[in-house]
Amino acid sequence: MVKMRYVFAINFKSYETAYNNVALDIARTANQLTSKYNNVRIILAVPSVMVSKLNSIYDDIFLQHLDPLEFGAYTGYLSADSLKYLEVKGTLVNHSEHKIIYRDIEKIVKKIKDVGKESLVCADTSGEAAGIAYLDPTMIAVEPPELIGSGIPVSRAKPEIITDSVSAVKKIKNIPVLAGAGITMPDDAVKAIELGSSGVLIASAVMKAKDPNKVIINFVEAINGI
């Protein structure tokens, strides 16, 4: 029997560490761990300006946002259609810190699918996740906004958000659901997976850590051991 491969997605956000040498180190660590641990998929969601540099080190790179636009006279936007030229596997969509209207989620998810890449669409609640499931993205991540960056892990404080979201989504379509917000310790991630999620989305616990690489190793080992 093939063991499930869990997702460990690191959102670099716009922390200083997303742009400097720490970002490169994280990519190197991700690259080493990926060849060592077969049960964990490490995704790095990075600032657009960092894609080329990080992709030369590690190849499971996501964008953090795309604009719902075709190619054309748009200055300072990242047209969703450009995805076909970019060295990324996919993109975050509708993150809690970059919410967009449903119509735009629909447009972006469709364009991503058209070029054979992956969408990881975020939701605040099981209700939002259910609406998104109708759009058939590659993955859905549920993160209660009040817990993001709080250090209070969703899998401890609001386990029902994970179970409800998994249940609401699966009723519509069998889409993997990740959990996020406040996840600080490897055990929080393990707990989130035990609640039915397919992995976690994490940010400050890595990006603001004294030793981000150590944090990543600990998480990946714990998740791999599930």
Give, as ranges, the residues between 50 and 69 that touch a copy of itself (CB under 8 A): 51-53, 63-65, 69
Among 26, 33, 68, 95, binds a copy of itself (CB under 8 A): 95
Residue 85 in the binding site for a copy of itself (CB under 8 A): yes
Among 28, 36, 102, 114, binds a copy of itself (CB under 8 A): 102
Let me know: does 217 contact 37? Beta carbons within 8 Å. no
SS3 178: strand
- Least separation in angstroms between CB 222 and a copy of itself: 24
Q: Is 98 known to be catalytic?
A: no
Residue 130 in the binding site for a copy of itself (CB under 8 A): yes
Residue 25 in the binding site for a copy of itself (CB under 8 A): no
- Least separation in angstroms between CB 149 and a copy of itself: 6
Neighbours of 85 (CB within 10 A): 8
- Least separation in angstroms between CB 84 and a copy of itself: 8
Q: Is 95 known to be catalytic?
A: yes
Which H helix or E strand runs over 121?
A: strand 118-123
Nearest 5°: CA angle at 107, between 55 and 6?
45
Tell which residue, 148, 149, 131, has the closest CA to residue 140: 131
Let me know: does 110 contact 134? Beta carbons within 8 Å. no
Q: Known catalytic residues?
A: 95, 143
